[in-house]
Amino acid sequence: WGIPTICSSNGIDFDLVSIRKVEKKRESINLIAVAGLAKWHGYDRILRGMGEYYKEGEKREVQFHIVGEGSPIEEYKRIVEKYEIAEHVIFYGLKTGRELDSIYDQCSIGVENLGFHRTGVYRASTLKAREYAAKGLPFITSLKLDIFENEKFVLHVPADESNIDVNEIVAFYDELYLNIEFSLKSSETQPDIISKQNIEKAKSICDICVTMLPVIEYFKSKENK
């Protein structure tokens, strides 16, 4: 609209986010979604994908932890009932603080937005992606994210109404957590290393101290004139 702007992106204060405490061993693959639930989160896509995944027979155990409240919750519960996957999906309602952190500690992959295409949005600078990264979580998204386009800890899925292919999530998990060789210290696990790598990379590009630099530089330039 002809108004001068300072180009920046969303950022969060990484120092205010507690890193998930990775459990040493979990047999199942645990996904987590934390949100004020709305249609654009698209978690119905992953629930239907889980339904199809389990219909195929005995599989690797995949659990979906949904934290939050909102209008889609009843639809989600209907999908869970239809596909008979209640033992694989946990609804927590609203959780904060230590309760929320304890749920994060159980999980190995975050679920970001999967339905923003429903509002005509295909590219975004979401806070949720930054929050998962600050927790040390790899995550799944259907968006083109401004700063996470080519990161190995992000699984991109189609921005449409298709069911999410859970086999693809399992393969993503295995590549991250099982198939990569690390030189581990005695007290560290592969999830520990992955978390640290994710946080280190994400902090360098989306900590608030980094994303606000264009604003700081603008005011510095004004002061020097």
Give residue-wise pLDDT tens across range 101-142.
999 999 999 999 999 999 999 998 888 989 998 898 999 999
What global pTM score does this model have?
0.85
* Helix or strand run (H / E) with residue 133: helix 127-135
Q: What is the DSSP secondary structure assignment for residue 39, as one 8-state letter? A: G
Contact 50, 85 (CB under 8 A): yes
Give residue-wise pLDDT tens across range 187-211.
555 556 666 777 777 788 888 888 8
- Type of residue numbered 180: I
Nearest to 120 by CA among 39, 194, 10: 39
C-alpha 126/C-alpha 38 separation (Å) is 15
